[in-house]
A and B are shown apart, each in its own frame.
Chain A
């Protein structure tokens, strides 16, 4: 059954990726799609900064600015940051726990295609009457007033991709609980696995409220319900609550895997075991738990009353404790280590002070009385870009450089990588540091222009120059990727030479069954232990035998495509008579595909023992 690997040609490759259920190929799909949306979101960010570079600018109209600003936030959160993290999780996580794939390879593919079609649907709005314009939070009072189909692209697009995210979350949870190899106890799991585990649990419990609130908005706008219509007894504050009950855990869903990546990077390049591993695990779980207790700190000015505000303020400040534990653990991991200043390590070093600034301004925001001053100003914009860009995007870039050889078998150029880092790091601080002061001077966020003579000119100009630095940095990264892909110099199992965990014990890229024999784990940093004892490979935990692998399938694509079609039907149903048949037709495609999946037996296939003995250079050996 390994014959499918021998197919050649573009169409065969395309078909391979459309039907793949291999976590490593799905990682590539997430990376390409997430990278594409990251570029779109980045272009939107540049447009915002061009518009705000000088006072009274008319580069973008107010209406266009609203669309660009909304799409920048929505794209970056849902369609760039999350899929890029999923790319790294898919690429590395099964390898880190010594598994041959995720628990549900089919669902893994389904999750990707849901995200993909959701993102495409959302972005088609640019060509079909305008993009969403109510901000990424899409507060009901704004979004119900938005005319045309703009908000419907937002709701339906997010809904489809949200289903995919939920599936990915459940999949990673089951993978981590059930698929660990012999000896890989919970307290020996690499930090990236741990943070993915907690982030997945957050996904599981945070996405349903989003699903429901988006359903409310879909129903209100397209099917005549009255959830948010105050005249008919509705209440728009329900949207705010439900959105932030999702929205706050969401930021931890993003930043916890980022913490995991930095834990790996700092440990690898300090060539030391992670300091305070147990406290790191504890802090991760505690952040995940507290993340659900703080949503109303986004709503201090809504008028929930002083008692509610005080409770949420204190709960928010409490999160600083586990986060502080993590920061000190990273610092003490580096303490006395033999540090190698590689590109990923530079990102990690840049991350720590940047994220601390974001954390400190977070505490300032958490003080609910003071927040009345900061609310809806550029202070908040500065704050969350310090956490999300300084935390999540730095981590994605660090992880990309770190795991690029594991994903593609070739190293990114270190010199160009460091140039990217410095451009990005300097540009990031130029752009966002000054925004705190703009906010304190009273510049409101989400406003398309400002007047001259109010002291806002210099700050905004500096901010826009910084954005240009980041854009150049991103271009250097793309050049780097192209150059190294063309050169394609193959590397061995452990290209950084200091790999500590199981993913570095297999070839780069790994064979599609990952491990010929599942490895035996004898402690934290399993591969490092073997290396320190003079071995080159992991000790196998099982005799060489047939390997069971899942079959490829086109059904995930069809299930997601059905929802994509149905979304168009739902959206145009109030205006055109063809809407309803298209809605029903799309659902028929989706549920029909699900039915086929359910009725058709799929036992997967086996890679025979004899086949494995031929290519003895791959995977763990006996």
Chain B
């Protein structure tokens, strides 16, 4: 099948993202990239665990003082739901339904923005009410770097998906664009998986002690 071929619902392949060699390369390359990203976050987690609650003296907020379940629970729900909606989007991509795919990607972006807003509120809250900043202690540096790297990934993912949706607003699906959508959703799932670990390691373990 040629990459620029005009396809219909009937001729659309079952795995359009892997129909062309370019698509196969992209999917494999992206999985490998995510492997590297896993090591990247593993390094951040290791550093966070080494520096957790490592503050210069008394009077600095520790993990057990900072975190509150309701906000983190809301953030988790927003991000997990956005992962689900991106699955819907890919489901419709595989069924050659560009409209519904774009709709669900827009929902994904909105949920992601909700998550981001909560995170900005959260950081602001820590800085203002606890004086827990990037520079106040090694604990602060490690916390903001780990969670902030994840937040930066969320921002990049939002920009990526938005760009794709806007660019293809008036276009039908093709074997050229299918891998692009597929990879963006893979990236979004990865962000979600990392958040599950942040939720467990940073917040749950932080609150338990």
With an 8 A cutoff between CB atoms, is B50 at the interface?
Answer: yes
Distance between B18 CB and nearest chain A CB, rounded to angstroms: 11
With an 8 A cutoff between CB atoms, is A426 at the interface?
Answer: no
Residues of B14-61 whose CB lies within 8 A of A: 21, 24-25, 28-29, 32-33, 35-37, 39-40, 43-44, 47, 50-51, 54-56
Q: Is B36 within 8 A of A166, CB to CB?
A: yes
Q: Is A233 within 8 A of B55, CB to CB?
A: yes
Residue of A nearest to B56 (CB): A232
Contacts of A171 in B (CB 8 A): 29
Choose among B37, B51, B140, B145 the residue that contacts A215 (Cβ–Cβ < 8 A).
B145
Q: Is B47 within 8 A of A208, CB to CB?
A: no
Residue of B nearest to A228 (CB): B138
Residues of A215-264 whose CB lies within 8 A of B: 215-216, 219-220, 223-227, 229, 231-235, 238, 242, 245
Choose among A103, A179, A219, A242 the residue that contacts B141 (Cβ–Cβ < 8 A).
A219
Q: Is A173 within 8 A of B25, CB to CB?
A: no
Distance between B126 CB and nearest chain A CB, rounded to angstroms: 15
Q: Is B47 within 8 A of A227, CB to CB?
A: yes
Given contacts A211-B40, A225-B141, A238-B50, contact A103 B134 (CB under 8 A): no
Contacts of A595 in B (CB 8 A): 163
Choose among A104, A211, A231 the residue that contacts B29 (Cβ–Cβ < 8 A).
A104
Interface stretch (choices A67-75, A447-455, A596-604): A596-604
Distance between Cα atoms of A208 and B140 in the complex (Å): 22
Distance between Cα atoms of A242 and B141 in the complex (Å): 17
Most buried by A among B3, B36, B40: B36
Contacts of B4 in A (CB 8 A): 603
Contacts of A520 in B (CB 8 A): none
With an 8 A cutoff between CB atoms, is B139 at the interface?
Answer: yes
Interface of B is mostly: helix
Write out, one digit per residue, whether chain A residues 340-362 have a CB within 8 A of any chain B CB (1) or not (0): 00000000000000000000000
With an 8 A cutoff between CB atoms, is A209 at the interface?
Answer: yes
Distance between Cα atoms of A235 and B55 in the complex (Å): 11
With an 8 A cutoff between CB atoms, is B167 at the interface?
Answer: yes
With an 8 A cutoff between CB atoms, is B176 at the interface?
Answer: yes
Distance between Cα atoms of A259 and B59 in the complex (Å): 57
Distance between Cα atoms of A104 and B27 in the complex (Å): 12
With an 8 A cutoff between CB atoms, is A568 at the interface?
Answer: no
Distance between A549 CB and nearest chain B CB, rounded to angstroms: 12
Q: Is B138 within 8 A of A242, CB to CB?
A: no
Q: Is A601 within 8 A of B43, CB to CB?
A: no
Choose among B3, B25, B51 the residue that contacts A174 (Cβ–Cβ < 8 A).
B25
Contacts of B180 in A (CB 8 A): 598
Choose among B21, B36, B44, B51 the residue that contacts A207 (Cβ–Cβ < 8 A).
B36
With an 8 A cutoff between CB atoms, is B142 at the interface?
Answer: yes
Contacts of B54 in A (CB 8 A): 233-235
Residue of A nearest to B166 (CB): A599
With an 8 A cutoff between CB atoms, is A310 at the interface?
Answer: no
Q: Is A216 within 8 A of B163, CB to CB?
A: no
With an 8 A cutoff between CB atoms, is B135 at the interface?
Answer: yes
With an 8 A cutoff between CB atoms, is B86 at the interface?
Answer: no
Contacts of B50 in A (CB 8 A): 235, 238
Residue of B nearest to A602 (CB): B176
Distance between Cα atoms of A207 and B134 in the complex (Å): 25
Choose among B21, B39, B56 the residue that contacts A209 (Cβ–Cβ < 8 A).
B39
Identify the A interface with B (CB < 8 A): 103-104, 166, 170-171, 173-174, 177-179, 204-205, 207-209, 211-213, 215-216, 219-220, 223-227, 229, 231-235, 238, 242, 245, 595, 598-599, 601, 603
